[in-house]
Structure formats: structure tokens, C-alpha cells
Amino acid sequence: MKFLILTNNPDRASYRQRIGVYLNTFRTEGIEPTVVVLEKSLFKRICQYKSIDRYDVVLLHKKCLNWLDGLFFNPQKAKVIFNYDDAIMFNDKGQQTRTHRKRFKRSLKKANKVLVGSSYLAQQALLSHDDVKILPLGLNTADYCPDTLKPNDGKVRLVWIGSTPTLDYIRQLTPVIQKLAVKYPNLVLRLICDEFIDIKSVEIEKIQWTPQARGQGLAESDIGLAPLPDTPFTRGKCSFKVLEYSASGLPVIASSIGTNPDHVKEGQTGFLITSPEKWFEKLDLLINDPSLRRQMGKAGISYAQHFDTAVIGKRICDIIQNCSP
């Protein structure tokens, strides 16, 4: 089967986690992928669109088509899968402008099947499309190191992993972390990111994200943090970092937003939070109870196995093959 993947940016995390990690799996299953980065020039994109009927299935990754794209992205034979794992029908402020709405609906209209990362995103698509599948993010659990020995320095490390655009999510916990740092002088906030913040009176460990640094940096930590504000945009967030924490053997404390409630098993792999008071309460509990941290971390490792790329890869291959002409 000839499979075309159209994406604006193959370097973004959402492409790597949603599509890129499965390229070898596709080949193993008889699906031959071709990845094409969409040109910024409309004229060059039109030339790219002319080739789509050479393929059996075309996957449109997080591309909301403007009206000119819509005129020329018009496959006659190839089946189209529209794939996304963010609330792309809104802007990053949670607003659905007329332009966002029209482009989103245009991509839905062109698709034979819609592939999304959560039930919230599915609900948005089902308003305009009747063939919507939910496929959660997967991760290669072998990339994580839950058996790594933690530093024997008496410190308790809270960890947050993310990227520059999401730094505001960890900033919202500043008052809680500062209050905890007063109570626990051995408390450390570890950030694994491409840029960093400082918090007054809080010890910060800054680790530049690389695949190797990620695995070790998470495993050496004690508690994973997944804060999110509540907006229409963040409700569409898919909880990759929650799965990373669980695969690393960490208990997770997360806002009850997006797919966090799907992936945090309350009282088993971590806690879901709805207020600053609860953030302090649950962090205080886990800081004081190493045995509870170990128990939740062990449960998280088992849970994360259900989302290994071997499992999710088989599911996405089935979806693609069932979409072919």
C-alpha cells in the first residue's frame, strides 16, 4: 500500500509522537510511507497536491486547509485521513475564530476518516463528520529507565517536562511550589525543556531536552507534574508527559484537564487536581511518603505498557489498511 503523509513540520513533537515513531511499523505491515513537508508557497503546494492520487491513502497531519488549499487538495482516488491531537479548531487562547472554524471544517469535509487523540477532540469532529476514530498517543516504553537508581542526596525532586510554548503551565504552580519549598528545604524542581524559568527561593535543576537526558532525568526524579489551565484549547491536550512519567516509574499529579483524567488512575498511579489547595495537599502527601511514591510508580509502569508503540502501532496500521480503496 502506498501511503502519503502530508505535514507542515516533521520536527514538531506532535508529528514525532503521532506519526514518525511508526514509520518502521508501517513498512513491516506492508504500508510504504512517503513523508512530504508542505511548502509555504501556495503554488508549490498545488504541485504537491497534484501527486496525491498516486497513493492509496493520504494522511493530512494537523493541516487546516484555507480556501485555496481546498480548491486544489481534491483527491479523486486516494482516501484521506485527517489526523490531529490538539484542539486545532481553536487558537491558543481558546477562541474559535471564523477563520479557524472554516479551515477546520474544510479539512473535515475532505477526509474519509478523522483520527484524533481524545474523546474531547472526537466530539468536536463529530459535529461535522460521522467517521471519527480515537487513537491515543503511544510511546516506546523501552526509552524510559524506571530501574535507574535515584541520587542519594536526600532531595525530593518534582519534575516537569515540556517545551517553551508550555512554560506558562508550570509557572501557574509557582505559589504552591514556593510554599512547599519553605516547608521542605530539600525540595527541588527539575525542568526538562529547551528553555527554563526561575522561581524565587526554589532550587531549580535545568536539563536540556535530548532523548537520553529525558529518560535519565525523569527516572532520577520522584514526582511528575502535569498542570494545565482550563481553556477550550487545553481541553484538547493529549497527555504525553503523563505517560512518560508513568513509564519512568513516577507518581503523577495532574490537572483534571484534557486526557489527564484518562491516564491518571486516581489513587493508583497518581492524583487529579482541581484547585491550588489540592496541589499543595497531594504534593505534601507524596513528599512525605516514599513508599506511596514507589507503589504508584510501579502501578504507572504497568499502565504505560498498554500504550507502548507496539500496541498503538498495530492499531494505526489497522485504521490505515481499512481506509484503503
pTM, two decimals, is 0.90
Nearest CA among 101, 110, 24, 35 for reference residue 69: 110
Residues 163-172 have pLDDT tens digits of 998 999 999 9
Residue 88 pLDDT class (50, 70, 90 cuts):
confident
Range 65-72, long-range pairs (CB < 8 A, 24+ positions) = 65/103, 65/106, 65/107, 65/110, 66/103, 66/106, 67/102, 67/106, 68/42, 69/42, 69/45, 69/106, 70/106, 70/110, 72/45, 72/46
Q: In the chain, what are the helix, strand and coil shares in percent, each to the nearest 5? A: 45, 20, 35
Q: Is the pLDDT of residue 94 over 70?
A: no
Residues 227-236 have pLDDT tens digits of 999 988 888 8
